[in-house]
């Protein structure tokens, strides 16, 4: 596997290469990322993985400086799975003091309401990376459901010739979705963290059992989390296709949640087809 850190070198390496499948990441790779890389392999001859902790998608009081950076371990994990590993510096991706940005739809909804500017940062870096790598296929995890929606919108609305594929969430045995941020949890918080998924499962069950008062389900789920010491940003039932409030009778839904345990903000979601 080749490790490349500049745009010029990457362009040189990929010139004339057909069938590029791309997995953008912020590194600190876990099984969830490696599954995305395996999906990419099924869709392309040349698998490119990027690792870049994107400052543009972190708010002023967020964890940009403490976000785990484990480049060597990441390289080792990708050996034999990816063909090209792109790890640019901040200066390489953002050489100008004033960055052109992309404002995607729903940027201020759901997680966007609690992380102002986050999806602008995501959309901007993903568009830059797509322009640099020029993949035919790109794979993103469904765990970041709103991010996947935003990336699909960017690709579709800006007419990018890339197919976006969503990879299923990989979970620990207690249901906790794998995330680089799980390592911030204390031992006690880690024990509690599986409850987020349990709450999603019981909310889904209520929906499958015919409960249609979604506002009440959202409220009950948030109260259950709060009672156990979580600080809830939101629990929301939305339409899968639009991430908007579902029309009555809508069948393809998703329950999305974001809540904090101590200092750690966790997100998760569960699709429900009624
Ligand atoms: O999901 C992530 O790791 C990041 O948000 C992404 C898509 C690599 C953009 O920085």
Q: Return d(Cα 192, Cα 116) in angstroms, integer.
A: 28
Per-residue pLDDT of 9-43, as tens digits, reads 999 999 999 999 999 999 999 999 999 999 999 99
The predicted model gives 148-158 an average pLDDT of 98
Task: Quickly tell me which residue has 């080792």 as its tokens.
Answer: 76
Provide the pLDDT for residue 189. 98
> Confidence band (pLDDT; 50, 70, 90) for 1?
confident
Provide the pLDDT for residue 139. 98
- Options 1.10.150.120, 3.40.50.720, 3.40.50.620, 3.30.70.20; which CATH number does 2-167 get? 3.40.50.620
For ligand 1, atom 6, the nearest C-alpha belongs to 25
For ligand 1, atom 1, the nearest C-alpha belongs to 25
The predicted model gives 107-131 an average pLDDT of 98
Respond yes or no: is residue 30 known to be catalytic. no
Which 3 state secondary structure label does DSSP give 269? Answer: strand
CB 228: neighbour CB atoms within 10 A?
A: 13
What is the overall mean pLDDT for the chain? 97
This prediction has a pTM of 0.97
Q: Ligand 1: does its nearest atom lie under 6 Å from the Cβ of 54?
A: yes
Beta bridge partners of 23: 49
Per-residue pLDDT of 79-111, as tens digits, reads 999 999 999 999 999 999 999 999 999 999 999
Provide the pLDDT for residue 133. 98
Per-residue pLDDT of 105-116, as tens digits, reads 999 999 999 999
The answer to whether the CB of 256 falls within 8 A of the CB of 236 is: yes
Q: Ligand 1: does its nearest atom lie under 6 Å from the Cβ of 126?
A: yes
Per-residue pLDDT of 216-265, as tens digits, reads 999 999 999 999 999 999 999 999 999 999 999 999 999 999 999 999 99
Q: Ligand 1: does its nearest atom lie under 6 Å from the Cβ of 167?
A: no
User: What are 220's two structure tokens?
Assistant: 């009950």
Per-domain residue ranges of the chain: 2-167, 180-269
The answer to whether the CB of 236 falls within 8 A of the CB of 265 is: no
> Confidence band (pLDDT; 50, 70, 90) for 2?
confident
Q: Which of 99, 122, 167 to mutate to test the pocket of ligand 1 (most atoms within 8 A of CB)?
A: 122
Provide the pLDDT for residue 206. 98
The answer to whether the CB of 56 falls within 8 A of the CB of 125 is: yes
Percentage of the chain surpassing pLDDT 70? 100
For ligand 1, atom 8, the nearest C-alpha belongs to 25
Report the top-level CATH class of 180-269. Answer: alpha beta
Per-residue pLDDT of 61-70, as tens digits, reads 999 999 999 9
How many Cα atoms sit within 13 Å of 67 on the Cβ side? Answer: 21
- What's the CA-to-centroid distance between 217 and ligand 1, angstroms? 30
Q: Which residues contact 229 (CB under 8 A, 6 or more apart)?
A: 192, 261
């Amino acid at each position: 596997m080749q490790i490349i850190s500049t745009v010029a070198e990457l362009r040189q390496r990929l010139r004339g290469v057909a069938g590029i499948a791309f997995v953008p990441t912020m590194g600190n790779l876990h099984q969830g990322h490696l599954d995305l890389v395996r999906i990419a392999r099924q869709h392309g001859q040349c698998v490119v993985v990027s690792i870049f902790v994107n400052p543009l998608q972190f708010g002023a009081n967020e964890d940009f400086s403490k976000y785990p950076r484990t480049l060597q371990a990441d390289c080792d994990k990708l050996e034999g799975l990816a063909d090209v590993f792109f790890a640019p510096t901040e200066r390489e991706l953002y050489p100008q003091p004033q960055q052109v940005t992309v404002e995607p739809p729903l940027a201020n909804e759901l997680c966007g309401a609690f992380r102002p500017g986050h999806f602008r940062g995501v959309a901007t870096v993903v568009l830059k990376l797509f322009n640099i790598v020029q993949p035919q296929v790109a794979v993103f995890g469904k765990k970041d459901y709103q991010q996947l929606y935003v990336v699909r919108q960017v690709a579709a609305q800006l007419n990018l010739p890339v197919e976006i594929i969503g990879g299923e969430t990989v979970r620990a045995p207690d249901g906790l979705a794998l995330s680089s941020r799980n390592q911030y949890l204390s031992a006690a918080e880690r024990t509690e963290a599986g409850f987020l998924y349990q709450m999603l499962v019981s909310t889904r069950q209520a929906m499958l059992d015919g409960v249609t008062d979604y506002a009440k389900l959202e409220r009950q789920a948030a109260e259950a989390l709060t009672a156990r010491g979580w600080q809830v940003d939101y629990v929301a039932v939305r339409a899968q296709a639009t991430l908007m409030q579902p029309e009555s009778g809508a069948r393809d839904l998703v329950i999305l949640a974001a809540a904090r345990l101590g200092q750690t903000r966790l997100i998760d979601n569960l699709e429900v087809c009624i």
